[in-house]
Structure 1
Amino acid sequence: MKRRLLVALLTLLVIAMTLLTVCQATAPSFADHSGSPQQVEGRFRNAAPRQAMGWRKTLSVFWKFMVNKPAGTRPDTPVPVQALTRADLLAAPDSSLWRLGHSTLLLKLDGEFWLTDPVFAERASPVQFMGPKRFHAPPISIEELPPIKAVILSHDHYDHLDKAAVLALAGKTGLFLAPLGVGDRLIHWGVDKAQVRQLDWWQEIRVGQTRFIAAPAQHFSGRGLNDGNRTLWASWVMLGRESRVFFTGDTGYFSGFKAIGERFGPFDLTLVETGAYNEDWADIHMMPEQSLQAHIDLRGRHMLPIHNGTFDLSLHGWTEPFERISKLAADRGVALSTPQIGQRIDIQAPAAGPAWWRSNRG
């Protein structure tokens, strides 16, 4: 027990020192976003206050992660991945979607390609020698991707915003659509300011023939120890000529889903966070029951659960999100799609998909 405690304390010290070093070395100069109703004294906030965990609960959660993690949070056999080529993508019909990983999805809408929350790194971490390691390789490399019309970003956490991926994509991407402040990070990293569009909640932009609306979410932000909530988080409404898609990003359940559904629904497909949840932080990451309710609130026709299957970010078994949401959807008569990583689906009529995770239980 003493050895475990020592290892946990040393690990916490390394993490704190790493975050402090990274934050001091890479902190951008944030633009003035004080005109946003979401910002107070330089920090963004949710419509409803987050539940404060307190130091006791924080230490308890850290202890569980470090020394008391249950079995089965990682697969013990390779995760099936359908490899993709540029030719596959170019030949695919319009209104196609591919899940590339955690919350990284490639959409083909209105004859163009759009990419959400690109993470291609080996680890969702400020450094690549420690932190959550991915269960599977991406089904396609950034170099092999066709030109991307726009990258859509939900927030700046490491499992959603990969600096190396952003810089690699900058040369083949027309625009980066980001919540307020996240775009400042991109510009600080070296992305051309002309490529960056920053939006507040309910603001929209038309790119070619496709509309994008930055919608509310209930989460938080930051990449270091002293930049908490300096950037905004958002969900996204994506409206093509034929297909309507909603992307939750990261969020707890809140009444805003009904408002979004009333204003922009129904949606052909909802891409809903369903993973890395726990009762201790349910106000910022939905439990599966809440994920299903969000889909219903949004007036979705089909639901694709995301934020699962790529990284170990919680205390539940890695297959649990798939099993729980599958049962809940069946009980409620919700059309669920669970494609393999790299498998193409039709946004208008997505196939249910195989229960591919059951042979990789861990």
Structure 2
Amino acid sequence: MSTSRRIFLWTLSVLALLAAGGFIIGCSISAPRYAGPRSDHFDGKQFQNAGGVHAQEGLRPMLRWMLHREKGPFPEQPAAPYGPKPPARVSGGQLRVTFVNHGTFLLQVDGLNILTDPIWSERTSPYQWIGPKRLRPPGLRFEDLPKIDVVLISHNHYDHLDVGTLRRLVARDQPRIFAGLGVAQFLTEEKIPNATDLEWWQQVPLSAQVKLNCVPAQHFSGRGLRDRDATLWAGYVLQTSAGNLYYAGDTGYGQFFAEIGRRFAPMRLAILPIGAYRPQWFMAPIHISPAEAVQAHLDVQARQSVATHFGTFQLADDGLTEPVTDLRRALQEKSVPDSTFLVLKEGVGWTAQP
């Protein structure tokens, strides 16, 4: 056998082993699939967005994106300061909001401390040695968090369901955790207790004053190769004495925003994503652009909105400052005052005016 043929066969064997290893790992990290009755957005095997909208699938669009990426600058900010320690509780009809990072907010209202999609890990990945890396520290030290009563998980992607952070919260505070259909089983298998599955438009009481509503979003789910769209993605509306609060999670744009507005207006505050939207041909089904975030703000009839899902991990091609720059441009084009759609500094608490 010639040397060139031996090299070819050796290379082919290595590639085959790598592919087999990747397949085995991809299957092993998949979450369990939801098993329940069919609905207008669940066919018995997979969940679906309204109107059949779905994320880009298959190797071809992924390769097209990877081979033609135009990533904006996203410099690391390792020295970004932590914010001050929040108060232990907020009551008396007040609402205090702290943007921690990415999709993580501390919401303090009616004596409850609520965290959305908490992530304090260094990477959004099943392994902390590979995957998208944190480019700035969280806005709050984990140790400075008040006791957390409730955690809201919008979907099971690694940047929104971070097992390491949830384990720390459970060990310290034992909070109640709410997520879309099917996610509770995964959390139970990961030794994370007190999780409850919710269906779109389902309501549960959190206290005598606060009700939690699970609402639709337009996204997808999956943690490995065998669980694509096997659990439900969602947003949440909290009905409180300070007004209705909407956390959109990760989502593309759809008519459900207007329906949420019809059901829950007036909305005191909406937390809407503005990042990970470029290139739009690839991202639009699953991530709203800043311009679409402004339209969603109008659709849900929010008195004020707050930006989320930007500034920590570069998950798409938009750079560090592009989401905010494009948001300001979109607000101007829609004649919406900047003060109506806030960009909070990480770690600095904001108290809503009555």
Partner of 1:356: none
Could you say what secondary structure the match of 2:88 adopts?
A: helix
Per-residue CA distance 1:110-151 (angstroms, 9 max, x = gap): 011000001111011111112111121113333432221110
User: 1:268 is matched by which residue type in structure 2?
Assistant: R
Partner of 1:152: 152
User: 2:205 is matched by which residue type in structure 1?
Assistant: R
1:92-171 superposed matches below 5 A: 94-171=94-171
Partner of 1:43: 46
1:319-358 superposed matches below 5 A: 319-331=321-333, 332-334=335-337, 335-348=340-353
Structure 1's 340 and 217: CA in aligned 2 closer, same or farther, altered over 3 A?
A: same
- Supply the distance in 2 between the matched residues of 1:151 and 1:15 (Cα, whole angstroms): 37
Alignment counterpart, residue 89 of structure 1, candidates 69, 72, 87? 87
Partner of 2:9: none
User: 1:57 is matched by which residue type in structure 2?
Assistant: P
Alignment counterpart, residue 63 of structure 1, candidates 61, 67, 80? 67
- Supply the distance in 2 between the matched residues of 1:188 and 1:270 (Cα, whole angstroms): 33
Q: Percent identity?
A: 32
Structure 1's 19 and 130: CA in aligned 2 closer, same or farther, altered over 3 A?
A: farther
User: 1:337 is matched by which residue type in structure 2?
Assistant: L
Could you say what secondary structure the match of 1:286 adopts?
A: coil
Confirm or deny that 1:241 pairs with 2:241.
Answer: yes
Per-residue CA distance 1:72-112 (angstroms, 9 max, x = gap): 1x125557444232xx3227663101000000000001011
Structure 1's 320 and 221: CA in aligned 2 closer, same or farther, altered over 3 A?
A: same
Alignment counterpart, residue 301 of structure 2, candidates 299, 302, 318? 299
User: 1:62 is matched by which residue type in structure 2?
Assistant: M
Contact 1:247 1:270 in 2 (8 A): yes
Shift of 1:282: 0.4
Structure 1's 242 and 290: CA in aligned 2 closer, same or farther, altered over 3 A?
A: same
**CA-atom RMSD in angstroms:** 2.4
- Supply the distance in 2 between the matched residues of 1:246 and 1:16 (Cα, whole angstroms): 43
Alignment counterpart, residue 286 of structure 1, candidates 285, 288, 294? 288
- Supply the distance in 2 between the matched residues of 1:82 and 1:317 (Cα, whole angstroms): 22
- Supply the distance in 2 between the matched residues of 1:273 and 1:148 (Cα, whole angstroms): 23
- Supply the distance in 2 between the matched residues of 1:322 and 1:28 (Cα, whole angstroms): 34
The 4+ residue runs of structure 1 with deviation greater than 6 A are 13-16
1:176-255 superposed matches below 5 A: 176-192=177-193, 195-208=194-207, 209-255=209-255
Partner of 1:309: 311
Contact 1:142 1:169 in 2 (8 A): no
User: 1:42 is matched by which residue type in structure 2?
Assistant: K
Larger deviation, residues 74-83 vs 225-234:
74-83
- Supply the distance in 1 between the matched residues of 2:287 and 2:20 (Cα, whole angstroms): 23
Shift of 1:17: 4.7
Alignment counterpart, residue 21 of structure 1, candidates 1, 21, 25? 25
Contact 1:117 1:154 in 2 (8 A): yes
User: 1:345 is matched by which residue type in structure 2?
Assistant: W
TM-score between both structures, scaled by the size of structure 1:
0.84
User: 2:131 is matched by which residue type in structure 1?
Assistant: G
Could you say what secondary structure the match of 2:52 adopts?
A: coil
Q: Structure 2 regions of 5+ residues with no counterpart?
A: 1-13
Per-residue CA distance 1:199-233 (angstroms, 9 max, x = gap): 10000111112111110111100000111011000
Shift of 1:15: 9.7
- Supply the distance in 2 between the matched residues of 1:236 and 1:71 (Cα, whole angstroms): 31
Structure 1's 30 and 225: CA in aligned 2 closer, same or farther, altered over 3 A?
A: closer
- Supply the distance in 2 between the matched residues of 1:118 and 1:267 (Cα, whole angstroms): 23
Contact 1:243 1:347 in 2 (8 A): no
TM-score between both structures, scaled by the size of structure 2:
0.86
Per-residue CA distance 1:29-61 (angstroms, 9 max, x = gap): 445222444211311111121354553222111
Partner of 1:354: none
Q: Structure 1 regions of 5+ residues with no counterpart?
A: 1-9, 350-362
User: 1:339 is matched by which residue type in structure 2?
Assistant: L
Contact 2:157 2:223 in 1 (8 A): yes
User: 1:311 is matched by which residue type in structure 2?
Assistant: F
Contact 1:81 1:136 in 2 (8 A): no
